[in-house]
Amino acid sequence: MVALSMNFLVVAFFLFLGAAICFGLSLTGRRTEGENKGRRSSKVGFVFTIAGFLASLVYFVLRWIVAGHAPVSNMFEYMTFLGIAMSLAFIVIYFIYPSRAGVIGLFTMPTVMGLIAYASTFSSDISPLVPSLQMPLMLKLHIITTALGQGLLAIGFAAGLAYLIRTIDMKKKSWKTWAGWKPRILEIIMYGLMCFVGFIVASYGFQAAGYEAEFDYVNEEGLESATPMVYHLPALVGPNEGTLLTEDRMEPLFHVPGNIEASDLNTVIWSFITGFVLYWLSRLIARKRLAHLIQPLLKNINPASVDELSYRAIAIGFPVFALGGLIFAMIWAQIAWSRFWGWDPKEVWALVTFLFYAAYLHLRIGKDWHGEKSAWLGVIGFAIIMFNLVFVNLVIAGLHSYA
């Protein structure tokens, strides 16, 4: 049944790919062959999205049956569920704003695919729950609600990014004005997305080559670890006082302290390197900035409509995230660790995320920050979420390191 559930996840991935293609064609159709053709392609893309969501839901239910608990307890399961939650959030937004959501689908579906592909680089084995997770009700309430909130906030990011690419003048080259900096900052965002792809490419590439290296090391408590640390990418950074055990493998350039998850930090560094290579290869092929390459597709999009959609998604997603990421999390922490709050790195960054989006809504409603300012905040907010999910979750040792 585990293999069957994984097959449904693969089917969902390709259905989301079909949806992304259709949403792209819907925008091309609007520019070249009229509004009706664009709307037909958008509707077909929406059908693909629903089919992909249903296939991924079957994966989720089958895995839940096999595991005996909600499959959101490790990085593979959580990132996969986040992709499912994002697709569900998009379906909800599409029903509310059918005429505006097509352009968001062009950004949302590749993100969903990226999350599923990213998740698949981690172990998909079903393992027993650690003691702090053996509370089925709180596991469901905390993690699932948090993922649903983040899925809605991700829609706000997709709409904000679409707004920025649509409205920013990509031809500005001066370093002395904010207008000249904006297209460069957009390219940094595009590079960040390429790093996400780079992580997947590097992981699958070295996995296909069968690369593996083991290190003995000293953990953060100053004790020699009972089990070796396994690397699946060449070691640019090594674990604390690490000794390479595998012959004919690369020695690390330097070592990190015991409170840093060295193998995961090594993977993040490889992601930046691979993303850099992919980004510049794309630039050489396109012979223009990547955001500039996408901009013509958004020519006939109404910026005000996209801005409103971004705000609505964040306005819905913020209380859902606050409920799951803070309130249910604190109740869970009290039950599992006998305290509501402990300044664990994951807890701190969940609070930072909450405060940032609270500031976003205050500035949007109270200070009338609409349009470009609001879009930048939506993009930055999702960057904070991904930093928490990737860097804080993987690299910094803490109570949530089981993820």
Q: Which residues contact 276 (CB under 8 A, 6 or more apart)?
A: 191, 194, 195, 198
What confidence score (pLDDT) does residue 340 get?
Answer: 79
What confidence score (pLDDT) does residue 104 get?
Answer: 82
Exposure on the CB side of residue 398, measured as CA atoms within 13 A: 17
CA proximity to 93, closest of 367, 306, 345, 392: 306
Please tell me the pTM assigned to this model: 0.83
What confidence score (pLDDT) does residue 401 get?
Answer: 53
Of the candidate ranges 124-133, 140-149, 181-190, 213-222, the one whose mean pLDDT is the lowest: 124-133
In the block, tokens 């650690």 appear at 130
Average pLDDT over residues 154-175: 85
Mark residue 158 as left, alpha or beta (left: phi above 0; alpha: psi -120 to 50; beta: remaining). Answer: alpha
Yes or no: say if 51 and 14 are a contact pair by the CB < 8 Å rule.
no
pLDDT band at 380 (very low <50, low <70, confident <90, very high): very high
pLDDT band at 322 (very low <50, low <70, confident <90, very high): very high
pLDDT digits (tens, 9 = 90+) for 44-96: 888 999 999 999 999 999 988 887 777 877 888 888 988 998 899 889 888 88
pLDDT at 34 over 70: no
pLDDT band at 35 (very low <50, low <70, confident <90, very high): low
Average pLDDT over residues 27-55: 75
**Chain-wide mean pLDDT for the chain?**
83
Average pLDDT over residues 230-240: 89
What confidence score (pLDDT) does residue 228 get?
Answer: 87
- Enter the tokens of residue 142: 């905390």
pLDDT digits (tens, 9 = 90+) for 249-279: 888 888 888 777 788 888 888 989 999 999 9
Annotate 136-163 with b (16+ C-beta within 10 A) or e (fewer): eebbebbbbbbbbbbbbbbbbbbbbbbb
pLDDT band at 223 (very low <50, low <70, confident <90, very high): confident
Measured CA to CA, the distance from residue 264 to residue 243 in angstroms comes to 17
- Enter the tokens of residue 265: 């930090």
What confidence score (pLDDT) does residue 361 get?
Answer: 93
